[in-house]
Amino acid sequence: MLGLVENLGRTVISWIAGMGRMLILLVTALLWAFVPPFRLRRLTRQIHFMGWRSMLVVVLTGAFTGMVLGLQGYYTLSKFGATALLGPAVALSLIREIGPVLCALVVTGRAGSAMAAEIGIMRITDQIDVLSVMALNPVKYLISPNILAGVITLPLLSAIVDVVGIYGGYLVGVQLLGVGQGVYFGEMQGVLGIRDISIGFWKSVSFGLIISWVCCYKGFYTQFGAEGVSRATTEAVVMSSVWILICDYFLTSVL
Amino acid sequence: MIRVIDVHQSFGSQQVLRGINLRVQKGEILAIIGRSGSGKTVLLRHIIGLVRPNRGQILIEETDITQLSGRRLDRVRERFGMLFQGGALFDSMTVFDNVAFPLREKTDLPPSEIAAQVQKMLENVGLGEMGYKFPAELSGGMKKRTALARALVTNPSIILFDEPTTGLDPILVHAIHQLIQETHDTFGYTAVIVSHEIPEVFDIATRVAVIHEGRIIAEGTPEMILKSPDPFIQQFISGSLEGPVRPL
């Protein structure tokens, strides 16, 4: 019984210590991001890596999600004779909810895992210590640009998912199922407000922060060789995905 | 130039350093030898402030780096270069960019001047034509030489070598030692070398320190260490299975 309590206590303390370390990493990285010299080249490189190189998979995700929404939306709305509302239904679902979440999950799988693995390999091969030896702060050099890149890139990618998804819904709803083109876009204009776009925007900013923060943290504190990198990468993807879904619920309640 | 005073370090229940005392003179090449797991690399990491001791002081010209952090520690580190065991080259950069990296990050030199200095340094280590290659395309010896060029390019006053010849064939071991000797003579840096290459490392070392079970048990010129009556040192130098230490 005492052993059980001891184990439980050790687990809780280790979890709290981990959370504290994570928070310190985030605060330090954010503070360093605003201290010169600004590493714009590295920031641009990371935006290119997270954004441009995720473009194909994000466009495919947006297109097929929009098409599925068009198909399912038409089926559901036709039961109520309200197919004219297909445009707003697709747009609202994408912009407020599905666009930011799916985009974040896709970017976690593609870029977040690579980020954790890259930093993890740098850790186990002493490349991070080399930065320290050269009197370069590894948090400023590695983590700050990644976190900024996540926060900048995710809203842009989410916007692309939204636009491509709306045209995916258009393809199915208007071109295949016969909803009027004017109705599809006209109703959308009437229903969609700046508040909906703002909700989607803040969600994607938060998800961008979560992905880069969690993945950088897991990579930065990698231990025990190749197996450690593999574990860190898996944990980074799982933890980011779960946090994105939990955060999505709370943001939907609050915003 | 460097003084290590009564440094203790433990990781969990494992006590790695048990009161290390060591002095490194300016301009000398000090070799630290000892069995695997005796704390050599950990000691080197303490000297450059990558690990903070549980107890003790590390003085770099009278500045106790165990009390420093942030930019004040960085200012001390700017005088160091370090060659890591595996080279620790940035694998996403070419050989040229690896060597140019500290100059680009830490100086305001124009690109043409950086290119000239890097090329000269690569030629010094015999890699003048290899600048365009990536670390994954290099042999073990080339990686070590690239890492040496990167450590030297900022002209540091102290360079720490963590097993610079591990995993290399005997000819390359001699070649790297010769390179360290030549660059030491040219640039006049103070060197601390952690090595298993015995007796080869004695050819370039000014002094040798023997570390055993977290303590320095002997210090002196290579000749003194070779003639030491200590049975552990004799067993270690000869690589004999017979002696006070059980190999496994």
A127 reaches B (C-beta below 8 A): yes
Q: Which of A40, A49, A133 to mutate to test the interface with B (most CBs of B within 10 A)?
A: A133
pLDDT per position as a tens digit, B115-139: 999 998 898 888 888 889 999 999 8
- Please answer yes or no on whether A135 and B74 come within 8 Å at the CB atom: yes
Q: How far is A126 from chain B (nearest CA, A)?
A: 5
A225 reaches B (C-beta below 8 A): no
Average pLDDT over residues B167-188: 86
Write out chain A residues lying below 8 Å of B45, CB-based.
Answer: 129
The whole-number pLDDT of residue B165 equals 85
- Please answer yes or no on whether A135 and B77 come within 8 Å at the CB atom: yes
Cβ-based neighbour number of residue B12 at 10 Å: 5
B148 reaches A (C-beta below 8 A): no
Write out chain B residues lying below 8 Å of A134, CB-based.
Answer: 77, 101-102, 105-106, 154
Write out chain B residues lying below 8 Å of A133, CB-based.
Answer: 48, 50, 77, 80-82
Q: How far is A10 from chain B (nearest CA, A)?
A: 14
Write out chain B residues lying below 8 Å of A139, CB-based.
Answer: none
Q: How far is A135 from chain B (nearest CA, A)?
A: 5
A132 reaches B (C-beta below 8 A): yes
What is the C-alpha separation between B72 and A91, in angstroms, rounded?
54
pLDDT at B69 over 70: yes
- Of A100, A95, A110, which Cα lies nearest the Cα of A57? A110
The whole-number pLDDT of residue B118 equals 93
pLDDT at B245 over 80: no
Cβ-based neighbour number of residue A38 at 10 Å: 14
Q: How far is B72 from chain A (nearest CA, A)?
A: 10
A28 reaches B (C-beta below 8 A): no
Assign residue A121 a region: left if phi > 0, alpha if psi is -120 to 50, beta otherwise? Answer: alpha
- Please answer yes or no on whether A126 and B102 come within 8 Å at the CB atom: no
- Residue A108 has which token pair? 């976690």
Write out chain B residues lying below 8 Å of A121, CB-based.
Answer: 91
B75 reaches A (C-beta below 8 A): yes
Supply the pTM of this predicted model.
0.86
If one compares A80 and B246, the residue with the highest pLDDT of the two is A80
Pick the range with the lowest mean pLDDT from A129-133, B36-40, B222-226.
B36-40
The whole-number pLDDT of residue B248 equals 65
Q: Which positions of chain A have pLDDT values less than 70?
A: none
For the packed helices A99-107 and A144-170, what is the interaxial angle rounded to 10 degrees?
130
- Non-local CB neighbours of A236 within 8 Å, separated by 6+ positions: A112, A113, A115, A116, A214, A215, A217, A218, A219
What is the C-alpha separation between A83 and A191, in angstroms, rounded?
14
ipTM for the complex shown: 0.86
pLDDT at B38 over 90: no
What is the C-alpha separation between A255 and A81, in angstroms, rounded?
31
DSSP secondary structure, A181-248, as one string: HHHHHHHHHHH--HHHHHHHHHHHHHHHHHHHHHHHHHHHT--SHHHHHHHHHHHHHHHHHHHHHHHH
Proportion of chain B above pLDDT 70, given as a percent: 99
Write out chain A residues lying below 8 Å of B78, CB-based.
Answer: 135
Which amino acid makes up residue A139? V
Write out chain A residues lying below 8 Å of B105, CB-based.
Answer: 134, 136
- Please answer yes or no on whether B86 and A126 come within 8 Å at the CB atom: yes
Write out chain A residues lying below 8 Å of B48, CB-based.
Answer: 133
- Please answer yes or no on whether B84 and A134 come within 8 Å at the CB atom: no
pLDDT per position as a tens digit, B187-218: 889 999 998 888 888 889 999 999 988 899 98
For residue B92, the chain A residue with the least C-alpha distance is A118
B85 reaches A (C-beta below 8 A): yes
Say if residues B161 and B193 touch (Cβ distance below 8 Å): yes
* Exposure string for B167-206, b = 16+ CB within 10 A, e = fewer: ebeeebbbbbbebbeebbeeeebbbbbbbebbebbbebbb
